[in-house]
Structure 1
């Protein structure tokens, strides 16, 4: 192996000690491999001293999963090629092969422009590309708010977003993986080819080594979930590595499934005079209509956006919001003809009226420009929260973003919202609530002014987690556990289940060197 692959960590690499959680870690060395072979060479070199390894993608995660706790940083952002395409004639479906460092923005652009760098593509891939260029448009449906996320990171935490209400999370669109294990051996996994027998599995590496073991025996909640190892009787082993947060192996290539793009995409933002009316609307719209996305913004969230629009030029694109707008619900519809999508919007309008809303207090976007304005509204809030927290950190550097990622069953939506609101008001804490309410998955962001409020906020999260778990919910619906929620994961599954996770990890990573500190303490 060339000595240049492993570099001593210097000042120029300090950004790689942090991710969007705003926490800062430590490391001794770093590498930026460009191929699977360079990853394997690096692993073999690091094995000599049993060096811990933190796997990184674009570092857009907010659970601290990419923060190193010493040892080596293996950053995958230079292994970033789209490597091929496949077409399934029976299902009229295209699949894209790509490396883990490819960004979501790059996937979207390539699919939109139908332009790819094909110098190393196989004959089969080139033939599929010819068909693709002559086909109707396709898209990749997982829609996380952070569009600069890497596809490897999205798979590692089973990322999802607004449109996951209809289309589901990243897991649903991964058809194959290549995974490099900590010892340098590799696995080739294809959906439908390697399954467990009840909960036992037998898996051969590409070098012929046999790995046998059991997947954990806990039952996952029946809600949108990204907490711990995926486990289910007679499951596809491909799913074990999706959402494993880099603790079992390193994803070096993926094959993702594409969907046909809808002919029409229209958006609608309905404003209500109270949160109660907005929640009734959510409960009604998701069973009586066919939205792709249902997003929520509470009153304090709208107030924060009003303030940013007034004081920050970066938020000038926000439309004016009268003070009578108390709570907002954003809905998106996809349709294949104009009549179909007009009926969807008309139906939504009737439901808005039934729930106490008004056409005068509703924004509708029927063209890309207007829809982009609504998308800007949806994405502006997380940015506003980050700016506010960064400002607080100038005087209190120990303050970090406090944002929940919990989800509950449909029947518990009003109960969990009442829990959040009442306990926050009782604690006299500033906060905003927004997110994917179609899946009963909202982000409560506490905005602490000092360390006392920060610590009280953290205690509240622990209390909420306990109650959400008893409701049949999850402590993480989309961002993963990382290093920041390991106590919550133990609350959710219990010590016995955590030990089962550790036993599984030992099979693939006996010395706990990959992404040490993610999911659980060793």
Structure 2
């Protein structure tokens, strides 16, 4: 166990990738799961609050302590087993996604969730139900978790296997490794019909494992997991398309999504079925041009698509795609196309460079990141998108927009230059989130709620349902010691006391 009490030695642990800052007097870095379990048990017995951290790549302050003791799981970093026959990988919570991908690539496999920050830990990914570009086809982290090892707030341990512990209606019984039974009544409230990580995921007859995925470390501490892995395709068609007008790009995405739905419904291996459909507006392209001077000028937008190909279907699928390109005024001479794995990585790096540049700008100017993570239903997407762009233009702020438009999921990042603009950006951010709620969408499609979006949950779920979430949290953690401040506003707990 590594223990640090000199704050100067762990200042980097007191902020996350969005430059959200906190404070703590003590950092613990356990080197084994047993050390972590014993530490949590002692802290809970002493009624000492503690925050769990790993790589701090989050954007909502979930891993940032607000005066509590800090625990880092970074040393729980073993890849325990890759089972090729079973198509699984077993890992400890502190393993980096990049290290998982490297180990799997050597075996001809990959892990489908593809967060922008590959240096994130897998435990953090599970705690936030992280997703990324490939979620258009493969979904978020939840779809790929088969088993979890969890330490509950009081130090009791839980091992969950998908399909082995399922609620009867809204009644759920958990049995810890020591034989203790925990009987829960799960809350009932509606979740939005969009990609969503806001609030606790609960539904009738749910698998217990899904309760902890996306709970932002508030119900238990994830220490290890078994995950699904997928064979690498014969070839990936990866291309960035440039459109003279934004409407052309949006119409292209709409048609590609429609064709994908048909291919999936018919289980057609020769149909359009990309794993990624990503969008970049003209501001984002200008912003990226410093690193990528070969971006054509005077464009309306760009779209990145990526689809896995087999040897027998490659020619047919490429023909399908190029036919679609020509219908929507894509200049085929300017398309960036990856011809090998190296080129694929370059295109992926282009996609990931935008949020990285935004984060660098925010850190350099010592602001907190102000970027949306909203999603709405597809039928409302176009109207919503143009509305929030116009709202932001009217503020006079610089901004860039990109995101997972195949999932109707938008990252609109405002770039304030001074404190006044920062306050304007905050107000506009809240207004955009309220509009997403009005459209029956979500304020958080993949980043979670953490500490910075708690105030938005009241509008999204209403006070009665927030109280239900608080009671669920208290059924695991009656003293509110584990990851205090995440998800639920403190005043909700106060109203229950």
- Give the equivalent residue in structure 1 for 2:179: 208
1:365-403 deviation digits (Å, cap 9, x = unpaired) = 12122222212221121122122223322xxxxx21101
Residue 409 (str. 1) matches residue 392 (str. 2): no
Runs of 4+ in 1 over 6 A off after TM superposition: none
Partner residue of 1:442 out of 381, 399, 410: 410
The answer to whether the 8 Å contact 1:179/1:250 transfers is yes
Worse overlay, 344-353 or 408-417: 344-353
The answer to whether the 8 Å contact 1:6/1:42 transfers is no
Q: CA deviation at 1:347?
A: 1.7
The answer to whether the 8 Å contact 1:5/1:42 transfers is no
Residue 368 (str. 1) matches residue 341 (str. 2): yes
Instruction: Find the residue that maps to 2:313 and give its secondary structure.
Output: helix
Residue 81 (str. 1) matches residue 78 (str. 2): yes
Q: Distance in 2 between matches of 1:273 and 1:86?
A: 47
Q: What are the ranges of 5 or more consecutive residues in structure 1 without an aligned counterpart?
A: 115-136, 310-314, 394-398
Q: How does 1:3-82 map to 2 (within 5 A)?
A: 6-82=3-79
Q: Distance in 2 between matches of 1:468 and 1:93?
A: 41
CA distance 1:6–1:365, change in 2 (3 Å): closer
Q: Distance in 1 between matches of 2:204 and 2:473?
A: 18
- Give the equivalent residue in structure 2 for 1:331: 305
CA distance 1:50–1:498, change in 2 (3 Å): same
Q: Distance in 2 between matches of 1:177 and 1:321?
A: 44
Instruction: Find the residue that maps to 1:93 and give its secondary structure.
Output: coil
The answer to whether the 8 Å contact 1:29/1:72 transfers is yes
When the two chains are superposed, the root-mean-square deviation of aligned CA atoms in Å is 1.5
The answer to whether the 8 Å contact 1:8/1:29 transfers is yes
CA distance 1:342–1:481, change in 2 (3 Å): farther
Residue 344 (str. 1) matches residue 284 (str. 2): no
Q: How does 1:127-166 map to 2 (within 5 A)?
A: 137-166=108-137
- Give the equivalent residue in structure 2 for 1:383: 356
Q: CA deviation at 1:294?
A: 0.5
Partner residue of 1:281 out of 252, 257, 261: 252
Residue 232 (str. 1) matches residue 215 (str. 2): no
Q: CA deviation at 1:262?
A: 0.9
Residue 268 (str. 1) matches residue 242 (str. 2): no
The answer to whether the 8 Å contact 2:45/2:154 transfers is no
Q: Distance in 2 between matches of 1:437 and 1:14?
A: 36
TM-score (norm 1): 0.89
Instruction: Find the residue that maps to 2:468 and give its secondary structure.
Output: helix
- Give the equivalent residue in structure 1 for 2:215: 244
Instruction: Find the residue that maps to 1:360 and give its secondary structure.
Output: coil
Residue 100 (str. 1) matches residue 93 (str. 2): yes
Q: Distance in 2 between matches of 1:466 and 1:345?
A: 41
The answer to whether the 8 Å contact 1:412/1:471 transfers is yes
- Give the equivalent residue in structure 1 for 2:273: 290
Q: Distance in 1 between matches of 2:105 and 2:346?
A: 20
- Give the equivalent residue in structure 1 for 2:282: 299
Q: CA deviation at 1:471?
A: 1.6
Q: Distance in 1 between matches of 2:274 and 2:436?
A: 26
Q: Distance in 2 between matches of 1:20 and 1:382?
A: 10
Q: CA deviation at 1:247?
A: 0.2
1:236-278 deviation digits (Å, cap 9, x = unpaired) = 0100000000000111110101112111112111111111111
The answer to whether the 8 Å contact 1:285/1:348 transfers is no
The answer to whether the 8 Å contact 2:19/2:362 transfers is no
Q: CA deviation at 1:48?
A: 4.0
1:40-87 deviation digits (Å, cap 9, x = unpaired) = 211232234311110011111111111001121110000111123446
Q: CA deviation at 1:226?
A: 1.1
Instruction: Find the residue that maps to 2:336 and give its secondary structure.
Output: strand
Instruction: Find the residue that maps to 2:333 and give its secondary structure.
Output: helix
Q: Distance in 2 between matches of 1:361 and 1:85?
A: 41
Q: CA deviation at 1:167?
A: 0.7
1:305-326 deviation digits (Å, cap 9, x = unpaired) = 12xx2xxxxx3xx251221322
- Give the equivalent residue in structure 1 for 2:494: none
1:430-455 deviation digits (Å, cap 9, x = unpaired) = 10000111101120000111222211
Q: What are the ranges of 5 or more consecutive residues in structure 2 without an aligned counterpart?
A: 260-271, 491-497
Instruction: Find the residue that maps to 2:375 and give its secondary structure.
Output: coil
CA distance 1:494–1:403, change in 2 (3 Å): same
Q: Distance in 1 between matches of 2:402 and 2:126?
A: 24
Q: CA deviation at 1:303?
A: 0.8
Instruction: Find the residue that maps to 2:10 and give its secondary structure.
Output: helix
Q: Distance in 2 between matches of 1:144 and 1:342?
A: 30
Partner residue of 1:521 out of 485, 489, 495: 489
TM-score (norm 2): 0.93
The answer to whether the 8 Å contact 1:272/1:361 transfers is no
- Give the equivalent residue in structure 2 for 1:129: none
CA distance 1:49–1:28, change in 2 (3 Å): farther
Partner residue of 2:153 out of 182, 192, 198: 182
CA distance 1:151–1:201, change in 2 (3 Å): same
The answer to whether the 8 Å contact 1:55/1:515 transfers is yes
